[in-house]
Structure 1
């Protein structure tokens, strides 16, 4: 796909000079490109440990070799008020990085584009082999292609999609409101740091955040037996498929997810709207949890290519989810993530199984990542027989915190066994007392390693139907 006009080719980023929450400014080296301080639609992409922020530039003031940058609301307040994650100044490997995008003045490389507003005119710098008088140009307009939405009382049931390709969606939030995320692509609606840490649910808590759910090409709410088999999801700008709430006994298998801007496959409740995201989620109706979802034998590759902080497979508050025999690769943060809430308290999550998956080439741009990553208390859960390798130490990271298996804050209730990886690069952040670790690392039997990942399936046909933006 074409890339938005950017200051640096090939995604190379420069280091910021200062980050000032009191003044709500970021100081950067003065850009060499003339005219940027007068451009009206410039955005800055900021590297923030395990997430990125996309901020619309309001003002750039050059002071010699330094330039002070201010931003539009609402993202300016959110960016400087929320404590986690923020950019790093004077970290182990230097300051956090940034990249300027979205100005006609930056349109200087083949394959880049820029759209002017309010005219809507699109400018494009052709690649050497492209003849624009004969080119087929696809410009997505819709963010969502398909919505399946029932109610708790009357769920949608028994729909199966087979051999269908879902293609070409857009993602407009950053251009209208900016995009400041907490984790996993979930944008902040409000956030601040408690002056006096501590809430009844967590004595040391200082971080308050309310989040919104990312846009998705396929949205499923309140359904049962909503299945996808041998489908393709590609050229999608935000989330691919989202089993959002109260979905049960459904299967997504033998599918391909590729060229996706956000998370490939998202499952389960991530309490949004008016629910503070660090308070343990206890649904009024148990069926609000997604339960009995099977994710099997899918290839998820080259996702997270717009919002680097998204993941291959992301599951929030879920119960009895089975993630088995998938291949997840070439992602910028974590591969397979299960859990939410940062808490040891009971929240309904239990019986989750992450088995025989092959995760590789992850943590390409961010850190605090895991090939397999978990959060919070999930009694009776299992992580076994997986193969994890090719951890990439992100070139822009300010330290090397990335792991093959990462039990992030308050992970509990897991049995972890026979997971092959080239070294015992594991970590746990305030784990609970009920995790059991057995034989993980390079000593795991070679046969287990070779059986991880996708298995051959006969009778695969090409997609018969394509659903995409018109």
Structure 2
């Protein structure tokens, strides 16, 4: 059947390439439709339309020719749309295919969400120009000669700064606010206090003490307040002081801009972002949009959606906006192929609610304000859904039927051979590829890099079956922290924010664990690198994973609470395995892996079903009770300087059960994308054994300073302040327990062990503030 389909499609494309042929013979398989930027009299060209006419024309043609494949050819050029092209089931009937593509492959077709501006510039002051502009809407992005400009901001844009291209603690200080005459309409962008994504606020007014009145801050689903330092303010006229900065005064109907010294401003093409989306395929599970392919088209200049990113994704850290430059919502067998998504303010491609067989392949996605490709189902498909980390429900209230409740989610969809980079330029809780409330999503042969958070993220266990394979993911978690190049959360029906309650719940009812994570997620044959977290991070209850044949270049591999994870035949360079706070009877397995440092466990009492037959740099890196059959030595990598970490014949690693796998299949496969893709930075290999942490005895407890990202992550800390209680004897003051983080004794903050010893010498009875189960509590 597949061969017949491909032959008929190819035949239709060949016929449609001959203008007039399909028009004269209406019984041919393919009907040709042509689109240009201007309206054309229908008598001259019966099947020639302007883009605004296209949806109605397709509806008419589909009724007249129900069985034909309709190929819509766009003549070269940029189309500035006044409204999105919305295609519904009326435009498709499940019989004929509809293909959108350029007429001439040598000429770029751009569908723009922006509006071109005709401006009469005149000098204002300090090298700034102004022009009269009366638009019925505000806009957040401005392009000059197709290059994104910088909205007036403090601190000024700095391409070398790690966070937000420049951030400052005093961005919204009263002293600074005093210098602004009309800050209403400005924006504050800030990282989450724990660097778990970001927040965005619109300034609505100023208080008498020069603090700001603001709305927003709902863009992160773990509400803990904005970061003290990593923040900046924009859209303030008084901050317009650097080249390429702009400000639009809507009330005064004036656009201000400071050009660079080399720009010929009066000849420049100026575009303001307008529409948040360009093409929307909108159907339903009962009546989907079918068999639409969009091929080789560029999408650009969509409006940012950061103030509309407010829908929470279950108990993950995410909120979302259900839209993008291209939206698939209620589709079957639709494809986005070979398209370019450049300089868009929100998500590039969003696959929402019911979708079956959607394919996004061969695309070049870069400079997006939001995520690259998102597959996100509807919460009505989730049984017993909860929407915030600390929410819980009693066992009697939990729906115990496995799997989804409805069909309103992406299933059997594919992201293949896409080049994705510099996404999340505005929003920081984003990913190159995001998966939530979906089943059997394949993410393969993608190259993803230069992103503020994860390259690939799975938000929860609903409902698994995903294949993550042959991807090259690096330069990740660049602006945030406590995350992974590949990241996942569990937090499914069995999850409870109180760990002791959850321990007893899953011990008594282990069948709860896979009610949502019904199918195994597979991570294989990927190369991951993270410099501010873990290369692979299975966090907070991520369950039912098989992870094998992956290369971890820098950050190691972490498994936090969860069940049924088998990790085997991976190579972990300049790092190791990070098991965090495991359950009893987790059934986890870690075997046949090459690690290059001692394990880095935190809060581990139980070691799963099998932790053995691994290969270490030296025997001193192996610590009982694990790895009774593991070996150590030089793994004898074939060519590590060039990224070949296969081991040579004779390597002792082979005797542990490790098996070589290909080092040449990571990332995009099309030559055109390979030519422009950045190469992953390879590590200089180091021999590591890892020194044991220094423990201090305090009133019979074993305590230590917070020293590593792993300890911060395990405790849910936003900084290294506090004292980690490794073990606590019965009767320790005020009921301090093992695993607590001591933050305050009496009225004295406790930043480290020295602070605690000094304070406790004089204060024997004062109340103690601790962090327990990632919640601050006071013990008296």
> Is 1:42 the counterpart of 2:173 in the alignment?
no
1:417: which partner in 2? 548
1:52: which partner in 2? 198
C-alpha deviation, 1:451, in angstroms: 1.8
- Please say if residues 271 and 277 of structure 1, whose CA atoms lie closer than 8 Å, have aligned partners that are also in contact: no
DSSP-derived class of the 1:105 partner: helix
Post-superposition CA distance 1:421-466 (Å, at most 9, x none):
22452223322x2011113213453863332111135899xxxxxx
DSSP-derived class of the 2:226 partner: coil
> Is 1:438 the counterpart of 2:568 in the alignment?
yes
C-alpha deviation, 1:131, in angstroms: 1.2
> Is 1:3 the counterpart of 2:142 in the alignment?
no
- Please say if residues 381 and 408 of structure 2, whose CA atoms lie closer than 8 Å, have aligned partners that are also in contact: no
C-alpha separation between the residues in 2 aligned to 1:436 and 1:209? 25
C-alpha separation between the residues in 2 aligned to 1:311 and 1:296? 16
DSSP-derived class of the 2:454 partner: coil
1:68: which partner in 2? 211
C-alpha deviation, 1:291, in angstroms: 0.8
- The counterpart of 1:107, out of the listed 234, 237, 240, is 240
DSSP-derived class of the 1:12 partner: coil
C-alpha deviation, 1:409, in angstroms: 1.7
- Please say if residues 188 and 203 of structure 2, whose CA atoms lie closer than 8 Å, have aligned partners that are also in contact: yes
2:275: which partner in 1? 142
> Is 1:451 the counterpart of 2:574 in the alignment?
no
Alignment of 1:13-28 (within 5 A): 13-15=167-169
TM-score of the aligned structures, taking structure 2 as reference length = 0.47
Which consecutive unaligned segments of at least 5 residues does structure 1 have?
17-26, 89-94, 180-185, 192-204, 394-401, 461-470
C-alpha deviation, 1:150, in angstroms: 1.3
C-alpha separation between the residues in 2 aligned to 1:51 and 1:411? 19
2:14: which partner in 1? none
Inter-CA distance 35–339: structure 2 relative to 1 (3 Å threshold)? closer
DSSP-derived class of the 1:133 partner: helix
Post-superposition CA distance 1:336-395 (Å, at most 9, x none):
11233xx6xxx4x12111001001111111112211111223632100111112x344xx
C-alpha deviation, 1:61, in angstroms: 5.5
DSSP-derived class of the 2:201 partner: strand
C-alpha deviation, 1:289, in angstroms: 2.1
Inter-CA distance 321–383: structure 2 relative to 1 (3 Å threshold)? same
- The counterpart of 1:362, out of the listed 471, 476, 480, is 476
DSSP-derived class of the 1:36 partner: coil
C-alpha separation between the residues in 2 aligned to 1:234 and 1:422? 29
C-alpha deviation, 1:87, in angstroms: 3.2
- Please say if residues 214 and 238 of structure 1, whose CA atoms lie closer than 8 Å, have aligned partners that are also in contact: no
TM-score of the aligned structures, taking structure 1 as reference length = 0.76
RMSD: 3.2
- The counterpart of 2:488, out of the listed 363, 374, 391, is 374
- The counterpart of 1:86, out of the listed 225, 235, 238, is 225
C-alpha separation between the residues in 2 aligned to 1:164 and 1:456? 17
2:586: which partner in 1? none
Which consecutive unaligned segments of at least 5 residues does structure 2 have?
1-147, 159-164, 392-397, 491-516, 574-593, 595-644, 648-660, 675-780
Inter-CA distance 386–109: structure 2 relative to 1 (3 Å threshold)? same
Q: Which runs of 4+ in 1 moved over 6 A?
A: 207-210, 272-275, 279-282
2:91: which partner in 1? none
1:385: which partner in 2? 525
C-alpha deviation, 1:122, in angstroms: 2.0
Inter-CA distance 83–242: structure 2 relative to 1 (3 Å threshold)? closer
C-alpha separation between the residues in 2 aligned to 1:327 and 1:208? 25
Q: Determine which structure has the larger strand proportion and give its number.
A: 1
Matched pairs, number: 395
- The counterpart of 2:365, out of the listed 257, 263, 268, is 257
> Is 1:116 the counterpart of 2:249 in the alignment?
yes
Q: Which moves more between the two structures, 402-411 or 435-444?
A: 435-444
2:450: which partner in 1? 330
Q: Determine which structure has the larger helix proportion and give its number.
A: 2
C-alpha deviation, 1:248, in angstroms: 0.8
C-alpha separation between the residues in 2 aligned to 1:99 and 1:310? 19
C-alpha deviation, 1:271, in angstroms: 3.0
Structure number with greater CO (CA < 8 Å, separation at least 6) is: 1
- Please say if residues 372 and 432 of structure 2, whose CA atoms lie closer than 8 Å, have aligned partners that are also in contact: yes
- Please say if residues 209 and 277 of structure 1, whose CA atoms lie closer than 8 Å, have aligned partners that are also in contact: no
DSSP-derived class of the 2:662 partner: helix
Q: Which moves more between the two structures, 144-153 or 269-278?
A: 269-278
DSSP-derived class of the 2:430 partner: coil
